Structure 1
Amino acid sequence: MSVCYALPPVRGKLTHDAPLAPLVWFKSGGSAEWLFEPADAKDLADFLYALDPSVPVMTLGLGSNLIVRDGGVPGVVVRLGKAFAKVAKVDDVTLDCGAGASGILVSSTARDNGIAGMEFLRSIPGTVGGFVRMNGGAYGGEVKDILVDCDVVLRNGDLVTLPVEQLHYSYRHSELPEGAIVVGARFRGKPGEPEAIQAEMDRISASREASQPLRSKTGGSTFKNPDGGKAWQLVDEAGCRGLQIGGAQVSEKHTNFLINTGDATSADIEELGEEVRRRVKAKSGVDLHWEIQRVGVKK
């Protein structure tokens, strides 16, 4: 990928032609033209303010629900690191969470402070930024149920706070402004006993371990559940359990998961997903929609 623009100075870290495969769960895909790891929210805001508006920018969290295509990602990929991974208690039922904090850290901090209602976050592979953007949910809970407001840096560099009402949440979707990067959020739960909270987290962890291929190179849930149905069931009924293209396979354990069996390219994984969609449409008439985000350039 060619560079034809100047990048603003930063206090964080800028890396040219940075491999993204090690940073995503599928362990496949190309490089970022530039990878930016900002020192803090102001570093990010100043960078975006000064960056040529025509340069594409995307955010990378834990890379759990993501296919990075083999041709790589043009422009700038922003990765929020340790500076954005802090979680602090605001009051008896509210946590202030950096966008880089994991669901495990948020739920564990909630437990330690006797805050219930955030246990489901433990089961979602990802970070607060992704949860807020996609209305992350599992085991009966959704981010819309606990979010108070969030801090975002807009593409023009403005840092603003948006209340939950402005996100207009629906299933796995929000109306965050185009190009906005979540840098922090406040989550509100309810009073609870740490022992009971831990018991619920243990129940969720055990259920997830039993039903999902957690020890494989995967991307989490591949397709959104259609209205009134379950994606995994439609995939199974279409005869796709174990279906393989190249090094990519539909999980035998949970058919709404695709896995990299070892040497899959991102093209293999995406092609397999599209083949599953074709077979489900032919069998049941249902159009499955990707839940996994696909970014970058096909090779």
Structure 2
Amino acid sequence: MSETGLSLPPVRGKLTANAPLAPLVWFKAGGTAQWLFEPKDVADLQDFLRGLDPAVPVMALGLGSNMIVRDGGVEGVVVRLGKPFAKVTAGPDCTLACGGGASGILVSSTARDAGVAGTEFLRSIPGTVGGFVRMNGGAYGGEVKDILVDCDVVLRSGELVTLGNADLGYTYRHSALPEGCVVVAARFKGRPGEPAAIQAEMDRISAAREASQPLRSKTGGSTFKNPEGHAAWKLVDEAGCRGLQLGGAQVSEKHTNFLLNTGNATAAEIEALGEEVRRRVMENAGVSLEWEIQRVGIRADDASK
């Protein structure tokens, strides 16, 4: 039995008890993972999950760019895919074979070098392929469902399966991927393009993002989904929330659909500010904003009980 109360299978990768997650997420706030597992390869991940008590929760973590980790931490095992899963290779017919830990910047730049258009929008999303596939990541007119052929997924049981685009039940920022599974690879398909034109589109997207979003802040990306017929940022602005603060958390003045950690905000303050924004928007416009940011783990109050 380990010091954290779990009996764990042997691994070839890295396994860390009580691992701080704040440094691994963009908000730079939140608690620890009971266990953080960085597998050496797919087989290492499969063996580990196969041997792990089925009752132990498993959560995949990418770049942590669209996530609030609550202050009480995350129970069970957090899986983080490192360098062995961060490769991207261009193939025939404008296809790209991507590791689950590869960044959007690597995918789009590899596509550009191979003359593959259609993935430029990934340049603007701070995340990894695994997160894109799970959340149907999208921006600037593109979504993962438009380019995904299929993906390789290690299920909570340790079984490795390939799921096609149609299997994922894609809707806006949502997929039907099974709970506790980890996306280890994906195939994308673009269309023929000129590298110079692809780069120009990537530059245009980068400039638009730079001009409108608080990129150099501790933030979590788009906080709320755009409701049907509305822009979330506009609803937040019209409810008088621009610059609204709660402790160390603040609604961005540059883009009102972004929350900021202005210094030493707790995850509880960031989440509570989001809930206050939702309350004010409902009161002002009668619209219920849905969180786009994932909120995971347990609250500090619950952890101490």
User: Does structure 2 conserve the Cα–Cα contact (< 8 Å) formed by 1:135 and 1:170?
Assistant: yes
User: Does structure 2 conserve the Cα–Cα contact (< 8 Å) formed by 1:8 and 1:50?
Assistant: yes
Which residue in 1 is equivalent to 2:52? 51
Which residue in 1 is equivalent to 2:159? 158
Deviations along 1:255-297, one digit per CA (max 9) or x if unpaired, are 0000000110000100000000000000000000000000111
d(CA) in 1 for partners of 2:48, 2:21: 21
d(CA) in 2 for partners of 1:213, 1:53: 41
Which residue in 2 is equivalent to 1:268? 269
| Offset at residue 168 of structure 1 (A) | 1.2
Which residue in 2 is equivalent to 1:93? 94
- Matched residue SS, 2:91: strand
d(CA) in 2 for partners of 1:40, 1:190: 30
The TM-score, its normalising length taken from structure 1, stands at 0.99
User: Does structure 1 conserve the Cα–Cα contact (< 8 Å) formed by 2:236 and 2:277?
Assistant: yes
d(CA) in 1 for partners of 2:155, 2:123: 28
Deviations along 1:94-136, one digit per CA (max 9) or x if unpaired, are 0000010000000000000000000000001100000000000
User: Does structure 1 conserve the Cα–Cα contact (< 8 Å) formed by 2:60 and 2:180?
Assistant: no
* Count of aligned residue pairs for this structure pair: 299
d(CA) in 2 for partners of 1:2, 1:277: 40
Structure 2: runs of 5+ lacking an equivalent: 301-305
Q: Does 1:295 align with 2:296?
A: yes
Deviations along 1:145-174, one digit per CA (max 9) or x if unpaired, are 000000000000000000101001110011
Structure 1: runs of 5+ lacking an equivalent: none
User: Does structure 2 conserve the Cα–Cα contact (< 8 Å) formed by 1:226 and 1:288?
Assistant: yes
| Offset at residue 90 of structure 1 (A) | 1.9
Which residue in 2 is equivalent to 1:67? 68
| Offset at residue 179 of structure 1 (A) | 1.7
| Offset at residue 28 of structure 1 (A) | 0.4
d(CA) in 2 for partners of 1:213, 1:177: 33
Tell me which amino acid in the other structure corresponds to 1:275. Answer: E
Q: Does 1:174 align with 2:175?
A: yes
d(CA) in 2 for partners of 1:211, 1:88: 32
Tell me which amino acid in the other structure corresponds to 1:44. Answer: L
Which sits farther off after the overlay, 89-98 or 182-191?
Answer: 89-98
User: Does structure 1 conserve the Cα–Cα contact (< 8 Å) formed by 2:149 and 2:188?
Assistant: yes
The 5 A counterparts of 1:128-207 are 128-207=129-208
Tell me which amino acid in the other structure corresponds to 1:55. Answer: V
Tell me which amino acid in the other structure corresponds to 2:87. Answer: K
Tell me which amino acid in the other structure corresponds to 1:14. Answer: L
User: Does structure 1 conserve the Cα–Cα contact (< 8 Å) formed by 2:214 and 2:252?
Assistant: yes
User: Structure 1 vs Structure 2: percent identity of aligned residues?
Assistant: 78
Which residue in 2 is equivalent to 1:247? 248
Which sits farther off after the overlay, 173-182 or 95-104?
Answer: 173-182
CA separation of 1:2/1:225 partners in 2, compared to 1, >3 Å: closer, same or farther?
Answer: farther
Q: Does 1:77 align with 2:78?
A: yes
| Offset at residue 224 of structure 1 (A) | 0.3
Tell me which amino acid in the other structure corresponds to 1:290. Answer: W
Which residue in 2 is equivalent to 1:20? 21
| Offset at residue 92 of structure 1 (A) | 3.6
Which residue in 1 is equivalent to 2:303? none
Which residue in 1 is equivalent to 2:109? 108
d(CA) in 2 for partners of 1:3, 1:102: 32
User: Does structure 2 conserve the Cα–Cα contact (< 8 Å) formed by 1:14 and 1:36?
Assistant: yes
User: Does structure 1 conserve the Cα–Cα contact (< 8 Å) formed by 2:68 and 2:293?
Assistant: yes
Which residue in 2 is equivalent to 1:215? 216
User: Does structure 2 conserve the Cα–Cα contact (< 8 Å) formed by 1:70 and 1:297?
Assistant: yes
d(CA) in 2 for partners of 1:41, 1:288: 38
User: Does structure 1 conserve the Cα–Cα contact (< 8 Å) formed by 2:96 and 2:188?
Assistant: yes
d(CA) in 1 for partners of 2:272, 2:176: 29
User: Does structure 2 conserve the Cα–Cα contact (< 8 Å) formed by 1:92 and 1:113?
Assistant: no
